[in-house]
Structure 1
Amino acid sequence: MENQVEQENTELPFVREQHANLLLNLDKTLDSDAIGQYTNEHLKLPGGYWCLGALYLLNKVPQSRQQEISQFIKACQHECGGFGGNIGHDPGLVNTLYALLILAMYDSLESVDLEKMATYIASLQNEDGSFKGDYAGEVDTRFSYSALSALKLLGKLDLIDRKKARDFVLRCHNIDGAFGGVPGAESHAAYTFCSIGALKILDDEDLIDRDKLGAWLSKRQTLQGGFNGRPEKLPDVCYSWWILSTCFMIERQQWIDFAGLKDYVLNCQDPENGGIGDRPGNEVDVFHTFFGLTALSLMGFYDLEKIDHVYAIPVKVIQKHFPHIYN
């Protein structure tokens, strides 16, 4: 009993307020003359998704900025219906999904043309069922997931060939039970999330061996408590989401050491200034802060807003704007 009390007293704190303060002031820390301003220019819309999503989980969404941010998202939409990562940037599938999720979290879906959005997404499906990320033609399962996720939320899956979309994802399935980004590619945790997410959205996740995949996923948990994305790699906080959410999708989350994963995420915090990095002691960033918080939310720690393990937005947002998902 004494050892248990001592362990509880030495547990790392979850620095909620520091995280919120960092996120709320994120765009105030950018120096217009700094090289980071230019190297991250194309990530402004994705950064908005990670930042707003993290603030939503912390129940700290700045409602005063709703109109400003919604207008920015609208300005990123092209005539074709797709969205760029910033104003004036080329449209792409992943950024189009991010735009949809941001607008849903900000209750501003009516501010853009959703019909054009759906038509643009469907136009990127190839004859073999895969999806191009943009006009340049790159293909992998990130784009399959992004397209299917957005179209499912919009109620527009009928615009594409669902069977071909499924079959392309299944061709990325490997002998170890996990998935690569394209057929024949090495299994990777993030591509496995995209593949299982795509199959889940299509109601085809039962076509894979859940135990075999669950074993591969659970073996990604390292002695430090965090996950790596492939065998023999270092752990990284972002895989806390890619792997844990996939385990929830195949109902194998009980194979994961929640306490160990929680401790790893907490060890990656900056306890003074807030934010979460990829590994303990490394620089924090909004990407890893979001994915660290999503993992803690999935595990039910610290009274965070509950996130949906397929669509990566809070459950209450889906209930409000996309109720057909749960019906």
Structure 2
Amino acid sequence: MAELSFNTERHVKYYLRCLKTFLPGAYTSNDSNRMLLAFFIISGLDILGALENKTTAEERQVYIDWLYRCQVPTGGFRGFSGTDFGEERRNADNEAWDPANVPATFFALVNLLILGDDLSAVKRRERLQWLPKLQRVDGSFGELLGPGERIEGDRDLRYCCCAAGIRYLLRGKHGKDVEDVKDIDVPKLVSFIEACQAYDGGMAESPFREPHTDTASFQLLSPGSEEFETLVAWLASRQTGEIDSDDEEEEDEEEDEDSGAEGPSLQEDGGSIEQKILSLPNLTPLTPDSIPCAGFNGRCNKVADTCYSFWNGATLMILDRYSVVDDVRNRRYLLEKVQHLVGGFGKAAGDPPDLLHSFFGMVSLAFQGEASLGCVDPALVTTERVTRHLAALPWHEQAPSAEAWKEVHL
């Protein structure tokens, strides 16, 4: 087989096009998610080692200024600046149109850290007062506060994950008290997450739903426990050699029907079942050598999807069980099937590149030690440079006194 390579130069050009030119029209519906798109781009360039080389200090400051423009005075961050009415135009009638939301707040904070900001302009107290208001009685988190501070949004582990991330970034590694601001209810959050684990070990977005790859609960399960082992087994079983899309399979079935070709049928009259089985064409036995590449899916009985190489891989990295991944076949799937000629990665073989799948495909390769990529922290999905920068912030690594810790946690 030909040697496969990660085309660093083309991936850098792809991210720079996304950063400095207009995105394709297909992104119009994601206008309110610019905070997430910004994360994919600037974190992608940072992992490629190109953020500081391909952007100037003045440009990075412009990006930082835009991020702070999305900061809501009474809460977190909004997803983009398009609903920023300004203080002189904000009133009770239009305030509901530009609320802060949990995912945007988490990604805004991470974006600021990637760009080298020290978070000194973040209103930590207001952010941390806002966060507990989004937690429900069952421990889950909503997406935003609606009229009358009503919690809006599904009970979804992804919101829980982002909320826990906000707390970690703003309270510090040890959950240090911030000017007597009430903390979230951590035990209830843990209880909700535990209730999301299904009978087969996978994690659902909320209790009693179908398991789906998610990253909210990895470090809450104890290694060696039954729950831990069944989750690892479920994640490992998501790696699959099925890489053809459902649409292609349907087209193949239609072509077979239209061709008029007749094959043996067990429904025809005459002959025994044994004779009909013997008349079926010989099938080549499935062996490891017959599966050249294998990506990941996010649910049972689904074909491979580029982003799940990250979701499953990040989970297993945090659980310290990445060794269960067949990284050789996963790398071949990413580089041979979904890496695009112009840079970036598509969702599936033959698809054009998009920011989400490009970023997660690249990070999955970083987990495997791809030579031209930086080491990535699987929890914050940033380079080690960013995690060192976070650790250097005065409140983050500072451990609270024993008495303060008891007041917050007991």
Provide Cα deviations, 1:187-220, integer angstroms capped at 9, x if missing partner.
001x3x2232xxx2xx554466332211111111
**What is aligned with 1:58?**
48
Larger radius of gyration: 2
Deviations 1:39-82 (A, max 9, x none): 22112111000111110100011243211111111111112221
Q: Are the aligned partners of 1:205 and 1:250 in contact in 2 as well (CA < 8 Å)?
A: no
Candidates 180, 186, 205, aligned match of 1:162: 186
Alignment match of 1:153 (pick from 161, 165, 169):
169
Contact 1:43-1:85 at 8 Å conserved across structures: yes
1:140 to 137, 140, 156: 156
Q: Measure, in 2, the Cα distance between the counterparts of 1:112 and 1:27.
A: 24
Alpha-carbon distance, 1:138 to partner? 2.4
| Structure 1 residue 251: Cα displacement | 2.0
Consecutive unaligned residues of structure 2, counting only runs of 5 or more, are 84-97, 146-151, 178-182, 242-292, 400-410
**Offset, 1:37:** 5.5
Partner SS, residue 80 of structure 2: coil
Distance 1:325 1:186 in 2: 38
Cα displacement string for residues 263-314 of structure 1 (whole angstroms, at most 9, x for unaligned residues): 111121112x111111121010111111111111111112311111122111
% identical equivalent positions: 28
Task: Give the SS at the match of 2:239.
Answer: coil
Rounded Cα–Cα distance in structure 2 between residues aligned with 1:313 and 1:123 = 28
Cα pair 1:59 1:305 within 8 Å, conserved = yes
Amino acid aligned to 2:340: D
| 2:313 corresponds to 1:252 | no
Segments ≥4 residues shifted beyond 6 Å: none
Number of the residue aligned with 2:68 = 74
Partner SS for 2:376: coil
Structure-1 separation of matches of 2:132 and 2:340: 42
Q: Cα deviations across residues 5-34 of structure 1 (Å, max 9, x unaligned)?
A: xx4xx1222110111011112144427xx7
Q: Residue 30 of structure 1 aligns to which amino acid in structure 2?
A: F
Q: Report how far residue 146 of structure 1 moved.
A: 0.5
Aligned pair 1:39/2:55, yes or no? no
Q: What's the counterpart of residue 25 of structure 1?
A: 17
**Equivalenced residues, count:** 309
SS in structure 1 at match of 2:161: helix
Q: Is residue 16 from structure 1 mapped to residue 4 from structure 2 by the alignment?
A: no
Distance 2:316 2:25 in 1: 39
Does residue 185 (structure 1) correspond to residue 254 (structure 2)? The answer is no
User: Any unmatched runs of 5+ in structure 1?
Assistant: 1-6
AA paired with 1:146? C
Residues in 2 aligned to 1:312 and 1:269: alpha-carbon distance in whole angstroms: 20
| AA of the residue aligned to 1:47 | L
Q: Which of 76, 84, 88 in structure 1 is aligned with 2:78?
A: 84
Name the structure 1 match of 2:347: 278
Aligned to 1:171: 195
Q: Which secondary structure state, in structure 2, belongs to the residue aligned with residue 138 of structure 1?
A: coil
TM-score by length of 2: 0.71
Match of 2:230 in 1: 212
* SS of equivalent residue, structure 1 residue 91: coil
Cα separation, 1, equivalents of 2:100 and 2:25: 24
Q: Give the secondary structure class of the aligned counterpart of 1:84.
A: coil
Q: CA deviation at 1:153?
A: 2.2
Other-structure match for 1:312: 381
1:269 is matched with: 339
| Cα deviation, residue 326, structure 1 | 11
Tell me the C-alpha RMSD between the 2 structures. 2.1
**2 CA distance for matches of 1:318 and 1:277?**
28
Provide the C-alpha distance between the structure 2 equivalents of 1:97 and 1:139, rounded to a whole number of angstroms: 17
1:133·1:143 contact (CA, 8 Å) conserved in 2?
yes
User: How many angstroms does 1:320 deviate by?
Assistant: 1.7
Aligned AA for 2:232?
G
Partner of 2:141: 131
- TM-score using structure 1 length: 0.88
Distance, in Å, in 2 between the alignment partners of 1:237 and 1:290 is: 10
Paired amino acid for 1:269: Q
